Structure formats: C-alpha cells, structure tokens
Structure 1
Amino acid sequence: MVAKKTAMKKPVMKAKKVTAMTKKFAKAKVSKVSAGGKGFKIKIGILTGKNFDPIPVGTQDPKYPDKFKFKNNREGWGGQFHIDVSVGLKMAALHPDLFEIDLMTGKDITQARLKKNHVNMNFWYDVGVAMLQKDKKHTKEVMAAHKNPDCRMWPSWEYYDWVLYKPNYMKQCIKAGIPMIDTIFIEDGFDPKNVLKQVQAKKWDKFFVKPAHYTFFGAGAIHGKTQDFIDNPSLLANYAKENKSMKAFLVQPYTLKPNGKVFDEVRNFFIDGEWAYSVYTDGTDYEGVYEQPPGAVKDACKEIACRCYKEVLKAAKWQGKPIKTLMNRIDVGVVPDKSKPKGFRVFINEIELEMTTWLARYVPFNLCDRMGEAATKKARELLTGLLKSGRKVPDAAKVKQVLEVLEERLGPL
C-alpha cells in the first residue's frame, strides 16, 4: 500500500427522520418573587454553529430564529434545526421570566460581547473551529475569549485545554490502567527520521500520524505502510513541512478489524456527571449509525467509558473548584478479537467536550429537553461559583436574587 494522506473518521453527521412527536416545550410559571428588579433577567450566552446535529423532525421550538436555520438540506445534514440552538431556546422556554439567551454564531464571538453576558456556554464554536476560518485576527480573538476569565465561559480554559491537548488525557488514562491504542507522543515538533526510527522499534507494519492539539475532522493526518515511508523519505519530510507550525502529534499503529476495515466506535455520552446514552458508529459506513443495542458490547463500552469519565472529573474545575461537567462524549473503539473471552476488545479512542456531535436523532429520549434542564442547572452552578469566588459579575446582586428564585422553583443544587 502506498503511503497517503487520509482523513480520520468523520464525525457522524447523517440524520434520520423520526415520526413520533415529542412533548411540547414546557412553559414555566412566572415567579411572584421580584427577581432582581422588574424585568431583570440573567443573560446567558450560547456559542453555536453546528450544522451537522439536527434534532428529530417536528420537535423544534416554534420560535427558532430564522438566522440560525440551515435551509439547505445538504448543508444541514437533513435538518434545518440543530441541537445547540435548540437547547438555548429550551432554557429560555423553561424560565422565560428569568433567562435571556444570547445565541451567537462564530462571527459574533468577541471578548466584549461575552463580557456583557452573565455567563457563557460553548456548545460548538471553539478555537479549533475558528482556526478553520483561516483568519488569524479572528482566531486570536476567539482564543483570547476562551482564556479571559472575565468572559465567564464554560468550559473553563484549563479544563478545555486538558481535553484539546490530547496527550494530557491520554497519558492520564494510560497511568490509570485504561486501555488505549499504543501511542508515540511527539511534543516538540515532527522529526521524520526520529519518528520513523521509533515506529520501526515498535515493529509496526502500518502507522498513522495526526496532530494532537486543536485539530479535528481528520485535518493534518497521514498513514501508510512503514516500508513505503522507508523507501520514500520525502513522504514524511513533506508532511513535516506542511505541519511545521504544529508541535504535538500522535503516532499510532494503523488499527483495523480482521476484515481490514477501520474499527467501529460506540460513543458514550455523559450528561451532568452521569452516563446517559450510547450510539454505535460504523468505522467505514457513514450510514451505519444507531443507538447501541443492549448486550455485551454496550456493557463493556459503558464500563470503560465510566472509568475514563472518572479521569475527566479530576480535570474539570470551575473557579478552581471541582465540578461535574455538563456534557462529555467518550468514544470507545471496538475491534473483534477471538483471543478475548467476549470475542472483542475495547479501548478509549477520544474524549470530547460539549463542542462535538451529540447525535441528537439517535437518542432514546428527547435530548433537547434533557440538555435544557441540565444546562439550566449548570448555569446556576457556574454563576453560584462565580459569586462565591468573588469574580466580577455584572449586576451581581440582581443575579443572586434570580438564583434564589430558581432555587425556589427547582430546589437546592
């Protein structure tokens, strides 16, 4: 096989229709308590932009803004209404008298705008997405917004970067004894000769290289037979030149199923600190997507994902304090293996933050409802943490009063 560049497995984007209508958006009763003064609302920013995660047909909020619709069916992967915007609208529908939701697209994101909100939640548009725009000024501003504590954004910078810099969580999981693909970590630039030497020492017949920081959708990946790279050194030399701005890379054996196809994944989702659902995604067939059925594979994937999530909780912090995460996706690789007692082996392939595909159309419950409630709780937690830490929050006294009203409605955190 001739060495060649290739894309990593794409995020599952294929949508399917569902015929059943879910219940209508709940309407909250307006509190009789004066919440921070007449008409005052907590302003929550939601960073959006997913055009690949449509919600089940017919479940959209009737007030879904036209600006955020993807009317080109191909562009919206089968749907014009997507989960990130829908969750923000759900939060507003749950507490219309207490919340004002500031929905933002990528071009809207500036430090100045984020600072005007009491708290912000990023459901999609992060530094990696900004880098795809090839606009250095814009990327710099988005990066600054993520780092600036006065932007009051979840995920927090330290936790966000722990996930985005893959060697962080991979090494932590390996130390904890959690199975992962054997990996050579390159963290000081790509040296073709040194990499090839390490690959040969591992005796890998084929291998795969991908950047380890701020990259996704297969950007900057290459794979091939080791012998092809030995016979033609220019392949890796050119790769190094093309990616000279990057410092960190992951080098792994090319992992395939016995039939020669790329391994499958079971994507496990955690909401508000608890395992919530899992979805099967075929390694090569992008149509092969469905809720993972009960059985040994589902159980094994859930078990290893839960072990991995414990490591996530060690890194997740807000204002220096441990906190349960709003949403994580933990991708578990599955490879048939007759030498194993159950006939297969599993390993952690990747950890994702909220800024990923949630696969809303393959969930056994209304994900918008569930995430709307979880995001409301998270907003309360984030704002409470900000106030307790002494961090500057606009209208702090009024925000505190609204939080008290929410506690009356929803109970203590």
Structure 2
Amino acid sequence: MVAKKTAMKKPVMKAKKVTAMTKKFAKAKVSKVSAGGKGFKIKIGILTGKNFDPIPVGTQDPKYPDKFKFKNNREGWGGQFHIDVSVGLKMAALHPDLFEIDLMTGKDITQARLKKNHVNMNFWYDVGVAMLQKDKKHTKEVMAAHKNPDCRMWPSWEYYDWVLYKPNYMKQCIKAGIPMIDTIFIEDGFDPKNVLKQVQAKKWDKFFVKPAHYTFFGAGAIHGKTQDFIDNPSLLANYAKENKSMKAFLVQPYTLKPNGKVFDEVRNFFIDGEWAYSVYTDGTDYEGVYEQPPGAVKDACKEIACRCYKEVLKAAKWQGKPIKTLMNRIDVGV
C-alpha cells in the first residue's frame, strides 16, 4: 500500500452489481441483527484510518464528519479527506434506501460494535495497524474481532491471514508455476548464522531481508553485501534483536534493473472478480504514477496477474463459501 497519486478515471460499479453482492451479505449468519422487514437496511461497518490516500480537494462529501478529518496531517499525505471514509459516504449517498453506514476509527473497534452490523469492511485498520499503537489490550481486541465470525469482517479471517502472511500466497503461487523471485522462507524466528549459511549456499552477492507478517512500508527491512555481513556478524545479530518479536521473514537476492535502479511495478486492479485496469508506479520517482498504456508490457502483466487471481479465488471465502472479492490489487515487477 503506497501513497501515490493516480490520475485516471475511476471505475464505477453499477448498482445492479452492488445489489447482487449485498444479497450475499444479507444472507450471512447474523446474531441479534435484523435481516428484513419494512424499511430494512443493510448495516455496513467501515474500518477507517488511512491518512495517505487522499481524494481530490473539492470532491469530498459536504457532510464529511469532522471526527474523520486529518488536520495537521504530519504523518500522512494529502490533506484532510481520504478514500476509506469517502467510499462509505458515497455508498450511503448512492443507496440511502439500501445501506446504513457505520464509520469507525481504530479506537471505535470492538467486537460488540461490529456484531451490530451485517458486515464490516476493513478498509485500513487491521491487526498490523493496531500493533503500531503499542497497546496490547487494544491489539488483542482487534485480533479477536478479526477472528470472531460473529463480527462478520471482510476480509474474513482465513483469507485475511492468507494475504497478510506472505509465505502463504507466495508458496501457493510458486506451486502454481507463477514466476516469483527466489526466496528463502524463514518461519521460526531469525537465526543470523543459519540465514547467512543459506544465503552463501545460494551464492548471492547481495541480499535483502524483511518481515513476512504484520508489517508494511518497509518496516524491519535490511539489505547489503553478503561479504559485509560475513565480516561483521553484529549487523545481522542486531537485526535479530530488533525484530525478536517477529517469527516470519523473507530473504531474497537484492536485485536491481540493468540501469541500477530498483524495479518498477504495474499494479493490476480486480473489481468484483474481474480484471479492471492497471497502473504503472515508478520505483524511484514518487510522482511517476499513471495508467499503464496498451502494449506488450500491459498484456504480459495482466496475464500474470490473472493467474495470481485464480489463486486468490481459492483462498477467498465468506461464511465458509467461495466468493469473488470486491477488490484486489496484484503487483507485477517490471
């Protein structure tokens, strides 16, 4: 998830598709939530908190709640109005007869509150975000809410964990024959000597390490020359101490493009189970974001992304049954 501007026309989901999807949620197992009758509305909780994914100034809902505005947004990017809250407000505005929207900040999230809704959509505030608050009680409650089927969270726990625990989807894609960068999977804590031994066996001149669970924005990453780590064992020893709470890591060759720059990405977006569009994001130019133009690169990335999405469909379930995801982003390095 990267804070970059994307200048392009946004796809619009037709009302009939929204209605079809909500029928599935309306039929979901509920506890103490009405499921029909005169004036019935589907209650949808929206977990918010993004402060780096803004909407164009002037397009915000005139009733955008003050509670959800990011004022003096030093840690984020883009101003007061962001996409997670805006999507919830747009849903309510487009279908006032169908939806009742419950916007929540991280502090609002409790199992009791989530159970009052027919479905809760996690647009940002997940377990990983809760961990950043350094509040064990709060993190425990958010984790319990994600795992509790009566909270009717989307993504549901099994699918959510499949996505968040990188070895899950990476190994599945590798098994399916999808090209993937060579990776050493560490899943029982970081042992510097053992990791370095495996790297040397691979004969990698440089390598890269990052945590593989509940982490984002490059947190906990380290890279360098293999020989430097051999000559100075304290580098990896200190890294292990700093990340002792982590169990899973990915170790990969540190690879650059022939021009010496990091790889760029083509991000493929799937909406309601169908490939919708792709966006080029430059690896070094923060403003280098635009819709991927037609051509061989776009076609090749789409083909790989569609193969990956088939694996997504094997993991995505709602109330134990397979479901097409509302939206997915699959990135392909170029």
TM-score under structure 1 length normalisation: 0.71
Percent of aligned pairs with the same amino acid: 100
Give the RMSD, CA atoms, in angstroms: 8.1
Measured in 1, the distance between the counterparts of 2:30 and 2:313 equals 35
Partner-residue secondary structure (3-state), 2:16 = coil
How far did residue 116 of structure 1 move? 1.4
How far did residue 120 of structure 1 move? 0.8
How far did residue 64 of structure 1 move? 1.6
The answer to whether the 8 A contact 2:3-2:77 is kept is no
The answer for the alignment partner of 2:194 in structure 1 is 194
Aligned length: 334
The answer for the alignment partner of 2:44 in structure 1 is 44
Q: Aligned in 2, Cα 1:327/1:145: closer, same or farther, shift over 3 Å?
A: same
Q: Aligned in 2, Cα 1:204/1:10: closer, same or farther, shift over 3 Å?
A: farther
The answer to whether the 8 A contact 1:26-1:94 is kept is no
1:81 aligns with 2:81: yes
Structure 2, gaps ≥5 residues long: none
The answer for the alignment partner of 1:153 in structure 2 is 153
CA offset digits 1:3-60 (Å, max 9, x no partner): 9999999999999999999999999999999994455432210001111111233322
Q: Aligned in 2, Cα 1:161/1:314: closer, same or farther, shift over 3 Å?
A: same
Structure 1, gaps ≥5 residues long: 334-412
Q: Aligned in 2, Cα 1:85/1:319: closer, same or farther, shift over 3 Å?
A: same
How far did residue 277 of structure 1 move? 1.6
- Tell which structure's C-alpha radius of gyration is larger: 1
Q: Aligned in 2, Cα 1:218/1:72: closer, same or farther, shift over 3 Å?
A: same
The answer for the alignment partner of 2:286 in structure 1 is 286
Measured in 2, the distance between the counterparts of 1:105 and 1:63 equals 17
Moved over 3 A (4+): 1-40, 71-76
Higher relative contact order (CA 8 A, sep 6+): 1
How far did residue 223 of structure 1 move? 0.5
How far did residue 280 of structure 1 move? 1.2
CA offset digits 1:321-375 (Å, max 9, x no partner): 1100011111111xxxxxxxxxxxxxxxxxxxxxxxxxxxxxxxxxxxxxxxxxx
Measured in 1, the distance between the counterparts of 2:2 and 2:328 equals 37
Between 1:106-115 and 1:57-66, the stretch displaced more is 57-66
The answer to whether the 8 A contact 1:27-1:93 is kept is no
Between 1:252-261 and 1:65-74, the stretch displaced more is 65-74
Measured in 1, the distance between the counterparts of 2:231 and 2:183 equals 23
Measured in 2, the distance between the counterparts of 1:33 and 1:145 equals 17
CA offset digits 1:200-257 (Å, max 9, x no partner): 1111010000011111111111110000000000111111111111111100001211
Q: Aligned in 2, Cα 1:7/1:299: closer, same or farther, shift over 3 Å?
A: closer
The answer to whether the 8 A contact 1:54-1:76 is kept is no
Measured in 2, the distance between the counterparts of 1:310 and 1:281 equals 24
Measured in 1, the distance between the counterparts of 2:270 and 2:54 equals 19
How far did residue 295 of structure 1 move? 1.7
How far did residue 288 of structure 1 move? 1.4
The answer to whether the 8 A contact 1:15-1:53 is kept is no
Measured in 2, the distance between the counterparts of 1:75 and 1:330 equals 26
